[in-house]
Structure 1
């Protein structure tokens, strides 16, 4: 005879009412492969259950089951958390997989879209295009889910022009820790709405978003300079020139760009939302470091987003792998001095990385993101101009690889001692002060709102917001 179902399993199965494919448990065959689907294979997580609800009422019942059995809850949209936080981050949580929440509609008067929280970004782009050639700001990895992306920040190459993804959110439907299905906006449950835009995982399960949209840009100029088969030391002046470009407070907001260090050199990528003539008129092309292999493509909106997605996949794979990552954010006055850039890049050449699959990405931000006051939403990095994140895959992941990225991170901190904090989308489970680094000056308010809306900490992962004691 097999083991009897737990009280949690019995409760969840009752919510499902016999529906096939509703829930699975550790006893299910191929549980990890077909239900859990962890993104970072170096972070081992076994949820107490993975549930695929179909309605907000289902989610309400699941939360009630978890709460009754003293089990934590986390929602998973695309499942791309670097530390598998959508699965709870540690063993024993209930993971709510939002795969069935992919509904979409467009109001052709207000041009506001209603989008299910399980919709992937690639589908968001396509559905908005088909509904009237509309668009919104978001990242370019097509398999990332909107539910996590739009509640943590949602940065992409169009963010300097339009703001972050969460800045487009006007209203949500959310299931809270008491099991109630509620609406949240600036006018209704405004404190909860404030917290959900930047720290959603700790405050509820969002089922749908109402978002504002923009007309698609007609033309997009995309370029790249590839510097190959050289040492990182040779890349140092190229990086410093690129950093000077993105630190210019007058940099045209239609321009987004990255500098990517990699084993055989570096790549500078850029996206300009406008015509080639408009791009040249900005003066940016004359300031872009040259010397590498140049590639320029002029696309329409859909093709541009697709190309950005393909490029992103080269560095941050959508495939599940064992990987390690670090990150840091920089303000205007925290850019790295050229002499220290030179020393850091020279140091990289001397290191045993333990893998050939490593990338270090510097990404320009600011622009329209900074137009929103720091305390307008829970997202706290309005004053940052640059993020970096490192990413290395090992099969298996070695101590040498971890040491390389950790020591690189420490050298950046030493080169810019005032730089502090990072984007919660680049979650780092090694941080001992993660909440402070992610939410900075907004953390006390988040803690107070947590006490009101989730005092028992039902919505929990290792670095989510805790209620004020």
Structure 2
């Protein structure tokens, strides 16, 4: 099938002829939800409750055939199309107003091959599904830090988390994907087949199709030594200066992301620290347990207020923040990659840490070094392989009444520290920030991404994302 390259603005799904909608519904094994249906409102709820969208219809796909039918229907009817996996997108990119949502949440199969150390994961899984399946075999796939995060969104953006320094980004452990393309074909992309597409999906987001299955390499990870170490906020500059030197020089089996936080008033934190603004590092050590005490000796030497590090199953560490950040909070994200934490940048960070607006609001610095640095900047679409950290500041609160406050804090914070950044951001931490930011994020990889986009999705059917915009196409010539 050849795609017509003339692009027209998507039409509203609300005005579609009823017979075409019913014909589409009859092709699906999963339900097609429309406004007024019993499950429609639940299907429109996002992890970020600050964002509200009203799709004309939501196709809850039961299998790959449903995905193919949905892609074909959206293309043929000229509908705006969004793809929803775990629904964690900070920018709310899993929904679209007046269009069609391909909801993969019922595709939740995980199959582990313990001998080959590979894991096949369906496109609607969250990382908790993967952790549950792999931990039974003493294995893990590098992912993020919250188990409710969707596998698809995190992977297609790159994937930073607890295992980055030891095993690389999530995409560095991706072996193949099954993708439904804009023309309705299902293809497998890997190092041997559709290699340009495989390059692009490793960091290029959801620009190129609907990924219905991921094949990952897994690693031996069972019990880790992990948890938080916290210091009073008035020591933040001292701790940040120590951290910027300590972690890059530490063995790669030690990962630790830096955070500003307000201590939640709940276990396991002692009451004496409840609601205090603090700085800290959340550690994950995957090496020999006998070496842990020596490795953490310099951390304890800084005399923290809390050193909550202990042996635990890896899935326990992955799920540690799930209760603190359930779906339905208000979120506003801003982010950058960082090559160096200068004293000047640290001073600005501390300034905004002192103004944390709510208990849930935070700033994290995720390491992007170790194994992640052994992949070249042009080997995958993920460009910032020379960064040391992926930095994100997020204003978060349960109440919509605080939305303006947390947004202003995050924007002002970003404005203050952006001059000290590498210039681009991790796409999974970006809001709707315009094409200049998308281009900055991909740098000199953008031209190749554009070529792949022009080949696989020239009409930009998959546009509800941090969009790689295809080359303009002139309208067809009409004879007079």
Indicate whether the TM-score tops 0.5: yes
Conserved 8 A contact 1:450-1:468: no
Q: CA deviation at 1:127?
A: 1.0
Aligned counterparts of 1:354 and 1:307: Cα–Cα separation in 2: 26
Aligned counterparts of 2:53 and 2:14: Cα–Cα separation in 1: 21
TM-aligned CA distance change 1:17 to 1:62, over 3 Å: same
**In the alignment, does 2:14 pair up with 1:14?**
no
Conserved 8 A contact 1:434-1:463: no
Residue of 443, 448, 456 corresponding to 2:446: 443
1:3-22, Cα deviation, whole Å (9 max, x unpaired) = x9743764454244286851
Aligned equivalent of 1:120? 126
Aligned equivalent of 1:110? 116
Residue of 291, 294, 309 corresponding to 2:319: 309
Conserved 8 A contact 2:33-2:39: no
Aligned counterparts of 2:147 and 2:288: Cα–Cα separation in 1: 25
Aligned counterparts of 2:358 and 2:311: Cα–Cα separation in 1: 35
Residue of 364, 367, 377 corresponding to 2:367: 364
**In the alignment, does 2:436 pair up with 1:433?**
yes
Q: CA deviation at 1:357?
A: 3.4
Aligned counterparts of 2:17 and 2:281: Cα–Cα separation in 1: 51
**In the alignment, does 2:302 pair up with 1:294?**
no
**In the alignment, does 2:70 pair up with 1:62?**
yes
TM-aligned CA distance change 1:447 to 1:111, over 3 Å: same
**In the alignment, does 2:231 pair up with 1:227?**
yes
Equivalent positions of 1:385-404 (< 5 A) are 385-394=388-397, 395=399, 396-404=401-409
Aligned counterparts of 1:8 and 1:306: Cα–Cα separation in 2: 50
TM-aligned CA distance change 1:167 to 1:8, over 3 Å: farther
Aligned counterparts of 1:313 and 1:444: Cα–Cα separation in 2: 41
Aligned residues: 443
Q: CA deviation at 1:265?
A: 1.7
SS in 1 for 2:211: strand
Structure 1: give runs of 5+ residues left out of the alignment. none
TM-aligned CA distance change 1:386 to 1:290, over 3 Å: farther
Residue of 172, 179, 182 corresponding to 2:184: 179
Aligned counterparts of 2:424 and 2:16: Cα–Cα separation in 1: 41
Q: CA deviation at 1:287?
A: 5.0
Q: CA deviation at 1:372?
A: 1.0
SS in 2 for 1:363: strand
Aligned counterparts of 1:466 and 1:68: Cα–Cα separation in 2: 20
The two structures have a TM-score, normalised by structure 2, of 0.85
SS in 2 for 1:17: helix
Conserved 8 A contact 1:358-1:392: yes
TM-aligned CA distance change 1:462 to 1:150, over 3 Å: closer
Aligned equivalent of 1:341? 346
**In the alignment, does 2:161 pair up with 1:156?**
yes
Q: CA deviation at 1:142?
A: 1.3
Residue of 284, 287, 290 corresponding to 1:274: 287
Q: CA deviation at 1:75?
A: 1.6
1:140-194, Cα deviation, whole Å (9 max, x unpaired) = 3111121222211121111110111111111111110001111111111111111
Aligned equivalent of 2:252? 253
TM-aligned CA distance change 1:70 to 1:312, over 3 Å: same
Aligned equivalent of 1:28? 37
Aligned counterparts of 2:50 and 2:135: Cα–Cα separation in 1: 37
SS in 1 for 2:327: coil
Aligned equivalent of 1:285? 297
Aligned counterparts of 2:382 and 2:18: Cα–Cα separation in 1: 36
Aligned counterparts of 1:343 and 1:179: Cα–Cα separation in 2: 49
Aligned counterparts of 2:179 and 2:189: Cα–Cα separation in 1: 7
Residue of 311, 329, 352 corresponding to 1:321: 329
Q: How well do the aligned residues superpose, as a CA RMSD in angstroms?
A: 2.4
Aligned counterparts of 2:259 and 2:296: Cα–Cα separation in 1: 19
TM-aligned CA distance change 1:298 to 1:178, over 3 Å: same
Conserved 8 A contact 2:227-2:317: no
Conserved 8 A contact 1:16-1:58: no
1:281-319, Cα deviation, whole Å (9 max, x unpaired) = 5x45315643322222112xxx233134213653xx132
Q: CA deviation at 1:224?
A: 2.4
Aligned counterparts of 1:65 and 1:360: Cα–Cα separation in 2: 42
Structure 2: give runs of 5+ residues left out of the alignment. 1-12, 263-276, 473-480
TM-aligned CA distance change 1:208 to 1:344, over 3 Å: closer
TM-aligned CA distance change 1:235 to 1:402, over 3 Å: same
Aligned equivalent of 2:270? none
SS in 2 for 1:388: strand
Conserved 8 A contact 1:42-1:397: no
